[in-house]
Amino acid sequence: MEIRTITFGRAYSERRSPTDRGRRSPTDRARPRTDDHAHRPSRTTRPRPPRTARPLPSRSGRARPVRVRSPVPALIGIRVRSPVPARVRIGIRSPVPARTHGPVPVRVGRFRPVRTHGPRPLMPGQGFRPVFHPAGLDHALRHALQDLRAGRWGAMARLLDETAETAATAGAGRWEGWTRRTQILATVAAGTDVVLAWRGEQPGSGPAAVMHGRVAVERAVRAHRAGHAHARALLQEAWTACREAAARAPADPVPWIGLLALAGCDARAPRAEHRVRPPAPMLPSGPWGLFAEIEKRDPHNREAYHRMLQFLHARGDGSVAEAVNYAQWAASTAPRGSALHALPLYVRVERYRRARGHEHALDLHWVAEDAVREARRAMDSWFLYCDVPEASQLDLNHLAHALFGALRFADAARVFEALGPYYTTAPWAHRTPRPADRALAEEVFLRARARCLSG
């Protein structure tokens, strides 16, 4: 029987009987007994470099890789590395049977099939682009905004009629949807004459009168911030429109919210009605009379508390400490499920903006003990109980930002998932050197989202 032994460098064969397997053959006796590994090169011998192939030129002028033969025999069952791209690279199996009469070659490595088709899995945040839309998850409001931008008021009128009926039959917090939808509609309608046309065709409509006051307030506030020459006239027009709307709809808190927003334009030199004694100690004086009218109609109204916070911010020096006390007071008195638990998050962002935290790298601002406590309270007392489609997009973004800054990535991931594809530029823009650049704010949002969703 002939036994052929495969080795790394050579192959030899000889005839032996089954009884002479342990004896040396005459040929072996003539040879001097040496070490079993004498055929291997010594350490001082420099191994021959492997053969390589020159890249062939292609039509484009670039060198394209070619397939080369491996200097190692294929019988030892290893994978041969090749400059050919991985999509066409194959593994080599050993053709030697498993049962043989000679030494069995050792398989080096493990054969793995190479995937040749199918997209690669995306990392969290890869290929995702957020959408900025004021309506967010409110699909009915989105449709009304599209109709409004086209110059039609029919969808807006129907939406507000349905919202008003819901507010009239609901219990606590019944004005929340009405307040939010009229505010968002006013930001778009302020640049058009759609509401004016609506009032011309339906002069007795209560929602049309409320929207007229909303639009007048939005235009007056914009003119005041821009320093427009007609800002004072627009403020007087808005004040009159809100008083008329309040007389037509006495139970509606929105006209009083408009008057409170106009008080922010008079913060540095307030009138007597804007210097009322506060309802609690450690709070500054302000338009608390207008605030009380809103509380009477809709307790813990989100926009009313934010309008009061804007009034305190507009006062200038010393307003940061006053705003901190005010936000803590508002959150401590708010019931469970109220969006006012997120109010301290706005104050912390404003403090970071005024301190120019991005320039001074104030990262500890977000991981301080009080910052973590505020983020956890907003998560546990508001987010876990809120109706996400009805929640404010600004509140959700501020909560995700606070949890991300506090290194609570698991909780922040839940908020990012609730946001879906939507985002707002604030507060992410304040972490950039140019807050007015929306692209930079989107980049910061995407990095935070990817970090939190990656686990």
Q: Is the pLDDT of residue 90 over 50?
A: no
Q: Are 349 and 363 in contact (CB under 8 A)?
A: no
Of 146-155, 310-319, 423-432, the one with minimum mean pLDDT is: 310-319
For the chain, first and last CA: distance in Å? 64
Per-residue pLDDT tens digits for 54-89: 555 555 555 555 454 544 444 444 444 544 444 444
Cα-only R_g, the chain: 38
Per-residue pLDDT tens digits for 14-31: 444 545 545 555 555 555
pLDDT at 58: 52
Amino acid at 453: L
Per this entry, what is the length of the chain?
455
Rounded mean pLDDT, 421-426: 95
Q: Is the pLDDT of residue 197 over 90?
A: yes
- Tell me the three state secondary structure of residue 131: strand
pLDDT at 126: 60
pLDDT at 8: 45
Q: How far apart are CA 403 and CA 282, in angstroms?
A: 28
Q: Is the pLDDT of residue 246 over 70?
A: yes
DSSP state of 112: -
pLDDT at 266: 83
Per-residue pLDDT tens digits for 332-372: 999 999 999 999 999 999 999 888 776 766 677 889 999 99
Q: How confident is the model at residue 11 (pLDDT cuts 50, 70, 90)?
A: very low
Q: How confident is the model at residue 124 (pLDDT cuts 50, 70, 90)?
A: very low
- Tell me the three state secondary structure of residue 2: strand
Identify the top-confidence range among 64-78, 110-124, 128-142, 159-173: 128-142
pLDDT at 101: 45
The enclosing H or E element of 6 equals strand 2-6
pLDDT at 10: 45
pLDDT at 260: 96
> What is the biggest distance separating any 2 CA atoms in the chain, rounded to whole angstroms?
124
Rounded mean pLDDT, 169-188: 87
Q: What is the mean pLDDT of the chain?
A: 80
**Which structure tokens are listed for 105?**
């070659």
Rounded mean pLDDT, 397-414: 96
More reliable by pLDDT, 109 or 289:
289
DSSP state of 48: P
Q: How far apart are CA 110 and CA 299, in angstroms?
A: 70
Q: Is the pLDDT of residue 275 over 80?
A: yes
Q: Cα–chain-centroid distance for residue 122?
A: 16
Q: Is the pLDDT of residue 6 over 70?
A: no
The secondary structure of 396-448, three-state, reads HHHHHHHHHHCCCHHHHHHHHHHHCCECCCCCHHHHCCCCCCHHHHHHHHHHH
- Percentage of the residues of the chain whose pLDDT score is greater than 90: 59
Rounded mean pLDDT, 219-246: 95
- Tell me the three state secondary structure of residue 106: coil
pLDDT at 93: 46
Amino acid at 332: S
- Percentage of the residues of the chain whose pLDDT score is greater than 70: 69
Q: Is the pLDDT of residue 3 over 80?
A: no
